Amino acid sequence: MKFPLTSWNLTPKEAVEAQKEWRSLVRIEPPTREIHTIAGADISFNRFSDVIYSAIVVLSLPELRIIETASVRSTAKFPYVPGLLSFRETPSFLECWEKLRTKPDALMLDGQGLAHPRRFGIACHIGLILDLPTIGCAKSILVGQHITLGGEAGSQSPLVDKTEVVGVALRTKKNVAPVYVSAGHRVDLNSAVDLALRSVTRYRQPEPTRQAHLLVNQLRRDDKG
DNA sequence: GCGACAG
DNA sequence: ATCTTGTCGC
């Protein structure tokens, strides 16, 4: 390993090399233990500002009751570059994670896992750092394609990139755009989709990331005044 | 060279 | 991601 898993002072070019190196560490397998709690994480910021807000919400399964929340205001030190999202968001996420007392059995990230050009999206990166089962649940595609989905909730189709199934397009709500689920670390695609489905209520986004999104935006607004 | 491109 | 009001549909 040339780069430690938590190297943040890298140039975009080095970051790409680091991802190629780290991707072999990712383990795609069914979760080791049953998952009774799942957390969702999200970040938010103001345009033209490097101040970013991060939030994590831990929920119980199958009740989906909020057990604990944590949030933090920090500074972004890496630009947004498609394919290198984790280098921008993870430092802030980790600060927030430190404040969390209840460590969840699994984590859902707003972004990709294996559905990434180098098969190393933010869900893989954070999963490796925390050595925790993680799944990516993105609102749009980074790589891959899928056939048209049925309009009913629960409809799904494999997300394929260059002959490889990297995730699943999942319609979580009737006649509403699907979300894209992929495995991060220590989970396989089937369990990732199952976890996502178990976390869905009446909205497009599963509760973990939806609640984290609501909380982080609340923090950002309150911080403005 | 051209188009695509998580948040 | 963020900038933003009303409006169409279940």
Between helices A85-99 and A122-130, what is the axis angle to 10°?
40
Protein side of the strand B interface (CB < 7 A) = A 42-43, 80, 82-86, 110-112, 116, 121-123, 136, 138-142
pLDDT digits (tens, 9 = 90+) for A24-42: 999 999 999 999 999 999 9
Domain ranges of chain A: 29-224
Determine whether the distance from the CB of A13 to the nearest atom of strand C is below 7 Å.
no
pLDDT digits (tens, 9 = 90+) for A186-210: 999 999 999 999 999 999 999 999 9
CATH class (in words) of the domain with range A29-224: alpha beta
pLDDT digits (tens, 9 = 90+) for A118-161: 999 999 999 999 999 999 999 999 999 999 999 999 999 999 99
Confidence of residue A225 (pLDDT cuts 50, 70, 90): low
Residue nearest to nucleotide B6 (CA to C1'): A111
- DSSP letter for each residue of A41-99: EEEEE-TT--EEEEEEEEEETTT--EEEEEEEEEE--S---TT-HHHHHHHHHHHHHHH
Determine whether the distance from the CB of A163 to the nearest atom of strand C is below 7 Å.
no
The pLDDT score that the predictor gives to residue A224 is 78
The pLDDT score that the predictor gives to residue A116 is 98
